[in-house]
Copies of this chain bind each other. A is one copy, B any other.
Amino acid sequence: MSPPRTATIADVAKHAGVAVSTVSYVLSGKRAISASTRQRVLDSVRALGYHPNAGARALASKRAKVIALVLPLRAGMNLPVLMQFATSVVTTARQYDHDVLLMTADEGPDGLRRVAASALVDGLLLMDVEMHDPRVPLLRQLGEPSVLIGFPADREGLTCVDLDFARAGALCADHLAERGHREIALLGAPGVVYERGTGFAERTLAGFAEAAERHGVSALTRPCEESFDEVCSAVRDLIDEHPGVSGLVVHNEAAVGHVLGALRVLGKRVPEDVSVVAICPDDVAERASPALTSVLVPAEDVGRQAVRLLMAKLDDHPVPQSTLLEPRLTIRESTK
């Protein structure tokens, strides 16, 4: 009944009758090892339930096999998208045999500095990067491999991924215009989001407006708060002032349900009186009544892509500076 100390590489080596370094080479594949020796080592690994000690490995190899995921855990974020994103990051990272350290943005630049200097992680994934994000200059200076989700104003020397929000806005306008709507409107994020300069909101607007113009359709846009009452009066004002509006785009996940409710209250039928397109996750669109035609924010793709890019950087492979992910429109019952 000796203490069941977890097996070390030395135990494996002894068990297999080889040198420690041989075990290491079998496991890393960095040198050729004969098939018979390899098999013997692998058997010992299994027999002893060996798992390499992460600290020792990190110390010796200068690679922690951990990446940091920095999430903006302040309120007002689009939670489901964030979750999907986090899930896909973790899952993809595991495929590359890496783990994920979760950090909140509110530890700020110091947090980045800390994890980089302590070699706790090999690279950084920053989500929700703003146009003029204070972390961006630090990131450049740190020289730690990183991938940003979102597009800061100056992308020089960085690697950025995001949904192509301009295309998403355009897709909505296209869809409505093609169905013959001549006056369309976009209900966007709450005002503060625009003020913060997050970028994606503006880009959606721009794509929407530009596409509308291309179709010769009149387009208006306005921010949209998230409480039922505010949504309701916003929708009422919109319809009062522009009775010709027959197509509505909602780019605000928390508000989509309320918009439908408001329309119901105002006696407008969807899609008979007004068509509605949402930019939101599929589950929200499907849960609504009527099910909403929607443009999907491909959070999973973004996460997967971001991890891939980071892994490429860790291997010193060159990667593109910007990656834009294509949005996809799913037609459901709310447009005609």
| Residues of A that sit less than 8 Å from B by CB | 6, 49, 51-59, 64, 66, 69, 73, 75, 77, 79-80, 82-83, 86-87, 90-91, 94, 99-104, 106-107, 113-115, 117-120, 226-229, 232, 254, 257-258, 260-261, 264-265, 283, 286-289
Known A287-B228, A289-B227; judge A104-B118 contact (CB<8 A). Answer: no
By the criterion CB–CB under 8 Å, are B73 and A117 in contact?
no
Q: Which chain B residue shows the least CB distance to A258?
A: B257
By the criterion CB–CB under 8 Å, are B83 and A79 in contact?
yes
Find chain B residues with CB under 8 A from A103 CB. 90, 99-100
Partner of A59, one of B56, B226, B260: B56
Q: Which 6 A-B pairs have the closest CB atoms?
A: A55-B58, A228-B289, A51-B117, A55-B59, A102-B102, A73-B87
Cα distance A232–B261 in the bound complex, in angstroms: 13
What secondary structure prevails in chain A residues at the interface with B?
helix
By the criterion CB–CB under 8 Å, are A54 and B58 in contact?
yes
By the criterion CB–CB under 8 Å, are A289 and B59 in contact?
no
By the criterion CB–CB under 8 Å, are A120 and B91 in contact?
no
Cα distance A232–B289 in the bound complex, in angstroms: 10
